[in-house]
Amino acid sequence: MATGSEIERLIQLLARLPGLGPRSARRAALVLLKKRDVLLEPLAQAMQDAAAAIRPCETCGNLDTVTPCSICTDGRRDPHLLCVVEDVADLWALERAGVFRGRYHVLGGALSALDGVTPERLNVAALLERVKADIEEVILAMNATVEGQTTAHYLMDLLEGEGLKVTRLAHGVPVGGELDYLDEGTLSAAFKARRGL
Amino acid sequence: MATGSEIERLIQLLARLPGLGPRSARRAALVLLKKRDVLLEPLAQAMQDAAAAIRPCETCGNLDTVTPCSICTDGRRDPHLLCVVEDVADLWALERAGVFRGRYHVLGGALSALDGVTPERLNVAALLERVKADIEEVILAMNATVEGQTTAHYLMDLLEGEGLKVTRLAHGVPVGGELDYLDEGTLSAAFKARRGL
C-alpha cells in the first residue's frame, strides 16, 4: 500500500485489539485520521493518561488510579463479604449489576491445564491471606465454564478448613431466556436447583 | 462503575471507533491496560505520530505523510490515467488489488440527497481542473450503491464535453461468487453485460 508507515503501524496495532481484525482496523484508522481533532488526538491523550494513571490494586487486583482501589477503601462496603472473580471484566460486570456491596478479589484468570495456568500463576496466595482477616462469606463468582468451575472447586477445597461460609453463584435459566434456546447443561442445572414457590 | 474516570474516558472514546460498541470497547480497554507496555503505550504513540505526520494530499485527497502524496509523485505511474474514488478506503482497496497503475482522485464521499451531500461538498471542482491537464482516461470507480452510481452519472455528464474517455468498473458476478447467493440486480447486470467467449 502506498501509504506512510505511520498509517501501517497504526493499523497493525489497532488490529491487535479484541473485536477488530485487519479489515476493521483499517476502517478504524481511516475514521481516526478523518476525525483527527475530535477522536484521534483525544484518544491518544486518553491512552497516555490511562497508561500513566491506572494500575492494579495491591489488595484486590482491580484496576484503578489509586491503590488500594476505591472499592477496597470504600467504608460503605461490607468488609466481611469477599467476592472472588476471574478477571477485572467480571468485577466490572458485577458492579454494573449493582448487586454486591462487599469487596472483591481478582484471580487474574482461571485454572487451565491446556493453557498451563496453575494455581501459582493465579492470585490465590493473597486470597488465603485475606480470608484470615475477618471475612465471613466468600462468594466464588467464576464463569460457568469448565475452567471457571474447576477453579471454583479448587478454591472451595482450599477454603474448606478456614471456618468460612463459601458460596457460588446460582446456575439456571438466564432472565429473559427462552427454554427452547438453552443448552441441556443449563436446563439440567435449572431443573436440579428448582425451588418451591 | 467504581473505576477511575481515565478508564471511563478511554472506553467512551474507543466505543466511537467503527466496529466497537460499548461492550467491546470495555474489553478493548481492559486488554490495553493489561498489555500496557506492548500495546497501550505503542498505540498511543502511533496515534500521536499519525496525528502529527499524516495529512490529505493537496492534489488527490489521499492520506500520506507527504503532500503531494507518494502516488501523485511516483514517476512510474501513468499520469494520463485518473481513477476517481469515493473514499481513501476505496483507493487503498484498489492499491491492495494492485490493478491500477495510474493516479487517483478522492471525492470524499458520494452524492446523497438524504444526507445533504451536494456536488459542492465533494472534491469535484479540483477534478475538473485536473482532467484538463493531459488526462486521457477517467475511470469512475464508485461503489455499486445508489449514491455511488448517482455520483458516477453526475460526473459522466460533467466530463462529457472534455473530450476524454470516461469508463466505469464492470458490474457482474464477483469472483468466487455463487449465483444462488447473488441478488437479482447483480445477476441482471451480469446477464446484460455478458461477453462472447
The rounded mean pLDDT for chain B is 92
Q: Given CATH 3.40.1360.10, say whether it is the number of domain B78-168.
A: yes
Could A13 and B39 be called an inter-chain contact, meaning their C-beta atoms sit closer than 8 Å? yes
d(CA B129, nearest CA chain A) in Å: 24
Residue B137 · residue B78 · CB < 8 Å: no
> Peptide bond before A68: cis, by omega within 30 degrees of 0?
yes
Q: Which band of pLDDT confidence, cut at 50, 70 and 90, is reported for residue B190?
A: confident
> Peptide bond before B68: cis, by omega within 30 degrees of 0?
yes
Hunting for cell 481484525 — which residue is that?
A21
Query: Where are the domain boundaries for CATH 3.40.1360.10 in chain A?
Result: 78-168
The pLDDT of residue A2 is: 42
Could B42 and A13 be called an inter-chain contact, meaning their C-beta atoms sit closer than 8 Å? yes
Give Cβ neighbours of residue B73 (< 8 Å, ≥ 6 apart): B66
Question: A67-79 as b/e, with b when 16 or more CB fall inside 10 Å?
Answer: bebbbbeeeebee
Q: Given CATH 2.40.30.40, say whether it is the number of domain A5-53.
A: no
d(CA B31, nearest CA chain A) in Å: 7
The pLDDT of residue A179 is: 87
A46-101 pLDDT tens trace: 999 999 999 999 999 999 999 899 999 999 999 999 999 999 999 999 999 998 99
Residue B64 · residue A17 · CB < 8 Å: no
The pLDDT of residue A3 is: 54
Q: What is the grid cell recorded at A137?
A: 462469606
Angstrom distances, CA of residue B178 to CA of B144, B145, B169, B183, B192: 18, 20, 20, 11, 18
State how far the Cα of A107 lies from the Cα of A117, in Å rounded to an integer.
11
The rounded mean pLDDT for chain A is 92
The pLDDT of residue A1 is: 46
Q: Which of B1, B10, B74 lies closest to A96 in CB terms?
A: B1
pLDDT-above-70 percentage for chain A: 98
Read off the pLDDT of each residue in A103-128 and give the average, rounded to a whole number: 94
B128-170 pLDDT tens trace: 999 998 899 999 999 999 999 999 999 999 998 888 999 999 9
Could A10 and B46 be called an inter-chain contact, meaning their C-beta atoms sit closer than 8 Å? yes
d(CA B68, nearest CA chain A) in Å: 12
The residues pairing with B129 across neighbouring beta strands, listed in sequence order, are none
Read off the pLDDT of each residue in B73-87 and give the average, rounded to a whole number: 95
Beta carbons within 10 angstroms of residue B90's beta carbon: 19
Query: Where are the domain boundaries for CATH 1.10.8.420 in chain B?
Result: 5-53
**B194 has a pLDDT exceeding 80:** yes
CA B146 to chain centre: 16
The pLDDT of residue B2 is: 42
Q: Which band of pLDDT confidence, cut at 50, 70 and 90, is reported for residue A41?
A: very high
Report the chain B residue with the minimal C-alpha distance to residue A46. Answer: B10
Could A62 and B3 be called an inter-chain contact, meaning their C-beta atoms sit closer than 8 Å? yes
**A193 has a pLDDT exceeding 90:** no
A158-173 pLDDT tens trace: 998 888 999 999 989 9
The residues pairing with B193 across neighbouring beta strands, listed in sequence order, are none
Is the ipTM value over 0.85, yes or no? no
Could B13 and A42 be called an inter-chain contact, meaning their C-beta atoms sit closer than 8 Å? yes
State how far the Cα of B62 lies from the Cα of B59, in Å rounded to an integer.
8
Q: What is the grid cell recorded at A32?
A: 481516526
Beta carbons within 10 angstroms of residue A21's beta carbon: 12
The pLDDT of residue B1 is: 46
**B4 has a pLDDT exceeding 70:** no
Report the chain B residue with the minimal C-alpha distance to residue A14. Answer: B43
